[in-house]
Structure 1
Amino acid sequence: MLNDLYHMLDPVAFTLGPLSVRWYGLAYVVGFFFAALVISRTAKRWGVRVTSDDLSTILICVVVGVIFGARLGYVLFYGDGYYLTHPFEILAFSQGGMSFHGGLIGALLSGIVAAKICGIPYTTLADLGCIAAPIGLFCGRCANFINGELWGAPTDLPWAVVFGGAAGSVPRHPSQLYEALLEGVLLFIILFALSRKTPPRSRGTFLGVFMLLYGVFRFLVEFVRLPDEQLGYLLGTNWLTMGQVLSLPLIIAGICMLIWVSRTHLPQQGHPEAKDEAEDVQGSPEA
């Protein structure tokens, strides 16, 4: 069933004259739209004031950070020296090649700028963003599946997919869908459930949980996802991939963040003009 479904899918969602709109591009749009919605609703539930101007600033900063960070991350982590001899292709987004780990670094750095402009504590802003991020990850991994890229190793499992093209006619793990379910659906459910507590959990909690669980999920999926062809497996092994190497520091950072949270217990805060209001809400009994 999955084989038939895949072969009916076109990476191009629709065309308008000479313009072709691809599912991958739509995944970014949908992901950022729902991220804004989740951030707004969660902040309101926490009693943390994030104005419409704040939200616009946050989105602009994060969009720029994610896109450029993801591209530069791919160039640095997966380029294997190619872009040293082809520097004009570094920003050739149309050729594909985006790294989640680079996008995360870009989002965290651009979040510093957004937090400074909005006057919102960085860790509160990061927590809100991390609750919303799995939605974008889900959309992106589904787009990877539609594009027939980042496929898995050969398998005889009943849900194996024949991707064709460079992947050949061998049935393979639909590793994109594994990631969509783990990094997208499951991670969102966990973070959203944690966010329901009132008063909200201490600043940095969601950033720590996100980094820890994403790192674990990605590390595990890499065992059935084939590495990028230009890199292959690392250090002479037949299992260690760049994705796993990049996920290890993410796991460590998540653990360190949660340890810091357990020692600081800083309350979530929003726009400084609503500090007193937020403190009143956060001091209310747990729902």
Structure 2
Amino acid sequence: MNAGTVSAADRVLDLFHDVRLTPTQRRIAHSLVQHASSAAALSAAEVAELAGVSQPSVTRFAVALGYTGYPALRRELRERASAVPAPVPASNEMQRAITAEAAHLGALRDQLADLTVVRRAADLLVASRPLPVLGLRAAAPLAGYFGYFAAKVFPDVRVLDADGTSLLDRLDQARAAGATALLTIALPRYPRETLDAVREARAAGLAVVLLTDSPVGPIAEPADVVLTAQVGTQLVFDLHTGPMALAMVLLQAMCDVSPGSVQHRLEEFEAAASRRHLFVT
């Protein structure tokens, strides 16, 4: 849509943009869009009946959208129903994709009002020596990005970004060297080898911190701590702006655990970089 005003159906539909839903959840979303004018007044049982699903499925659907439960989702539906129709500016698909990313970052900002889970993840990861960081396929660049900066302030950060028969060997080696936790980055589409590695890590006694796009993803269940940031899906390939920002937030939280030692290592790095003329500026 390039012009005009936002309809009731559009407002409801906007809740599901960039969210990967299961087939059951898509049925619920479709029912809400079909009944957009009355959606805010529907109970969870009524939504379940309209969609032909169970009431617990409606609750899981609300959680998948980032709400604490269906009552919180219904409050959002009520707010959207009472809002004054806003004009929709003309835009092309590239602009809409970037606008969606800005919205994802806004949601992440609000999510970070409570840092309890981030700090718990940071405590687990800081205590691990070495620190293995797992990221395969689409997640490999982000694992490398995180590992590059983490290695500046934490000793023995090991990026596991290559799949194949040696992956579990490298995980075993990290555990044998003293690792107590594994940071796993899993982004759609989720490689089966990532799930296998996480299960192997849990069986070996490692705590698993998962950075991913959805709390109900297939790799979330075996993880000890799950951190989520939405992935953009409006272009041919996914945009990972949110997960990248969350990765740096996590690293900041890790640095905050022991600021003195972190500052010392940073100063050592800067001195070495200057001595070796590593950078042109």
- Please indicate, yes or no, whether the TM-score normalized by the shorter chain is above 0.5: no
Higher strand share: 2
Relative contact order (C-alpha < 8 Å, sep 6+): which is higher? 1
TM-score (norm 1): 0.25
TM-score (norm 2): 0.25
